[in-house]
A and B are shown apart, each in its own frame.
Chain A
C-alpha cells in the first residue's frame, strides 16, 4: 500500500490535490469560468477535498476532514469511480459525472446553482486528471 499507484484511494487523493495546478495551466478554463467564485467539495469516499474557485481560478484543493467549513455543493463518489472517470479514455458509463450519477455511483448534493451556472467548466475541471502523468500508460 506504500505505492500510491497501486492504492486507488491514495492515487485519487493525489489527483484531487493536483487539480488546481492543472486547472491553472488550462487557460481556457479560467476564461470560460468568468467571475466564478465558489467553495465546493470533491469527495472521494468519505474524504472531502475543499475546492476554492475565486474569480474563475481554481486556487486550492484542501484535503479534509474540515472543521466547521461550508461549501455550496459536494460531488461524491468512491475512489474507484473517480479513477474510472479519470481513465485516459474512460469506459462508457464512467465518462461523465451524470452517467455515474444515473447509475448511482456518484451523488451531487447541496446548492447546485453554482454548478449549473458553469456546468461545462466544472465538468472539464473534474476531467483534468485524465491528462495527468499518473493516468498515462
Chain B
C-alpha cells in the first residue's frame, strides 16, 4: 500500500489559544469566545463597534508583545463567536455605558486577571474613559485607541437597518473610509469582511453607546492618571474620532498621554499592524517598566 501524496504542506498553527468561556454578566449566563497568547502582564483588548476580536490577531501573533504580555481579546456578546444570551430574540441589542462596563469587569473577574492593562479601540476607546473615571483601581494602565469623550456624528444610523438595503455591506462601506489609504489592501479587506459578518442591528446597537449614552465629557474630571496611567493613541486618517477630538479629551485630563499616529486610521491594530506596533511598543514598555 502506498502512502498517498500530500495535498497540502503541514498546517502552521498560530500561537493563539481560543476557547469558549461560560461567564455570568449582570446575572445572565453568557458564552464568550476568548483568544489569548503570551505570558506576563494581562492585556485585555476591546474590539470596535460591529466587529469582533479578530481585529487583534496581529497583536496576538506578535512575539515582541506576547513575550511580556498575556494578550487577551474576546468577542463581545452578540459579536463574532460570542452568541447573544438566551431570549435575545425578544428585544433589540443596545449597548449602554453601564452594560459595557459590567461586561468588561465581569470578563476581567471571571478570568481572575490581576492588575490587567485594558486597551480598547473606538467604542472600546470610549469605554476606557469610563473605566478610568470609575474603576481605575482595577487596572494597571488604560490605553484608548481612537478614543475621545465625545465625537460629532457624520451619518444617520437609520440607514443601517433599512429593509431595502443590505445592512452589513453598508456598514462595511461606511467604515471603509476610516481606514488609512496607505493600509495594505489585504488588511483593509479583512476589516471590511469582519463588518460584513456582523449580526443585523449590532453595529447600530453598539453605536447607541457611542452616540446616545456614552458622552464621557462630564466624567473626565474624575480621572486621576496618577492612580492609573492613561494613554490615548489616534490615527491621523481617523475622521470619526479625529486627532483633534482625542487631543481635546486629553486636554481635560491632567497626565493623559497622547500619541498621534501617522499612516493609520480608526483600526490601527488591524489595518497596518507593523506601523501600529511602532507606536504601541513604547507605551507597553513604559507600563512594564513602571511595574505594579
Contacts and interface: CB of A to CB of B under 8 A. Distances in A.
Interface string A110-123: 00110011011001
Contacts of A120: 169, 172-173, 176, 192
Contacts of B91: none
Interface string B163-180: 011100110111011101
B237 interface: yes
A77 B169 CA distance: 26
Interface string B17-42: 00000000000000000000000000
A118 to B, nearest CB: 8
B164 A98 contact: no
A119 B192 CA distance: 13
B13 interface: no
B237 A95 contact: yes
Please indicate which of the listed interface residues B159, B166, B173 has the most CB atoms of chain A within 10 Å of its own CB.
Answer: B173
B159 A98 contact: no
A99 interface: yes
A114 to B, nearest CB: 10
A116 B166 CA distance: 9
Interface in A86-111: 89-90, 92-93, 95-99, 101-103
Contacts of A95: 177, 180-181, 237
Contacts of A119: 169-170, 173-174
B239 interface: yes
A70 B79 CA distance: 42
Interface string A64-101: 00000000000000000000000001101101111101
A113 B158 CA distance: 12
A129 to B, nearest CB: 13
B177 A116 contact: no
B88 interface: no
Contacts of B172: 120
A116 B239 contact: no
A70 to B, nearest CB: 21
Given A95-B237, A102-B152, A116-B165, A89 B182 contact: yes
A4 B61 CA distance: 50
A92 to B, nearest CB: 4
B236 interface: yes
Would you list the 5 A-B pairs with minimal beta carbon distance, nearest first?
A96-B177, A119-B173, A120-B173, A99-B239, A102-B154
Interface of A: 89-90, 92-93, 95-99, 101-103, 112-113, 116-117, 119-120, 123
Interface of B: 152, 154-155, 159, 162, 164-166, 169-170, 172-174, 176-178, 180-182, 192, 236-237, 239
8 contacts: A89-B181, A89-B182, A92-B236, A96-B239, A98-B174, A101-B154, A119-B174, A120-B176
